A = this chain, B = another copy of it.
Amino acid sequence: MARTQGSHSDITGPRIREAALRLFAQHGYAAVSMRQIAKEVGVQAGALYNYTPDKQSLLFNLMAGHMADLQAAWDAVPQAGSALERLRAFTGFHIRFHLERPDAVFIAYMELRNLTEENFTVIESLRRDYENGVEGILKQGVEQGVFTIPDTKIATLAVIAMLNGVNTWYRSEGRLSLDEVERVYWGMVQKAVST
């Protein structure tokens, strides 16, 4: 056998990335073999190498793509208004964005140690960019006197860590709606940084 019926590059490519994303999130990068990914897609392992030069690139591209999506989505959120309003917007954005792609978020935070040194540097840089955007809001609030924060860098990381935690417990069928979750977290974030 060789080329199969209905085989198309623009279909197989995304399917490989989807399968890899899900499997990496579920079992971890190192625990997932190329043959498992291929099986999920319904293809032989060798076929994967038409779409990625190697396994490491597959992971890196998933992570880099996620970080790029995150930054682009956040850049698209209008930044008008006071520091308080901007932080409110960030809280809602961050929670919703992360809850929509739990697998990508999981990988982006858990598989950093499986990146080569250069790939790690790239991802870390993208993450810092995102964090700096948040820190900018906090700094603005401090200057305007509406926020009281002894260290904006730590506060940034603390806020993000707190919001990321939602991914560990939120289930869409659960007790709380997305709006309620957002309101609860915003209450805590707002109080934590306010004067």
Chain A residues near B (Cβ < 8 Å):
26-31, 110, 113-114, 150-151, 154-155, 157-162, 164-165, 168-169, 176, 181, 183-185, 187-189, 191-194
Least distance between A173 CB and chain B CB atoms (Å): 16
A138 vs B59: C-alpha distance in the bound complex, in angstroms? 40
| Residue contact A151 to B165, C-beta cutoff 8 Å | no
Q: A27-B113, A110-B110, A161-B165 are in contact. List 8 more A-B contacts (CB 8 A).
A: A28-B29, A28-B30, A151-B176, A154-B169, A158-B185, A160-B165, A191-B193, A192-B192
Report 11 cross-chain contacts, Cβ distance below 8 Å, ordered by A residue.
A28-B29, A28-B114, A30-B30, A30-B31, A154-B181, A154-B184, A158-B162, A158-B165, A159-B162, A161-B165, A162-B165
A161 vs B163: C-alpha distance in the bound complex, in angstroms? 8
Residue numbers in B under 8 Å from A184 (CB-CB): 150-151, 154-155
| Residue contact A113 to B165, C-beta cutoff 8 Å | no
Residue numbers in B under 8 Å from A193 (CB-CB): 188, 191
Residue numbers in B under 8 Å from A157 (CB-CB): 165, 168-169
A184 vs B153: C-alpha distance in the bound complex, in angstroms? 11
Least distance between A144 CB and chain B CB atoms (Å): 18
Residue numbers in B under 8 Å from A27 (CB-CB): 30, 113-114
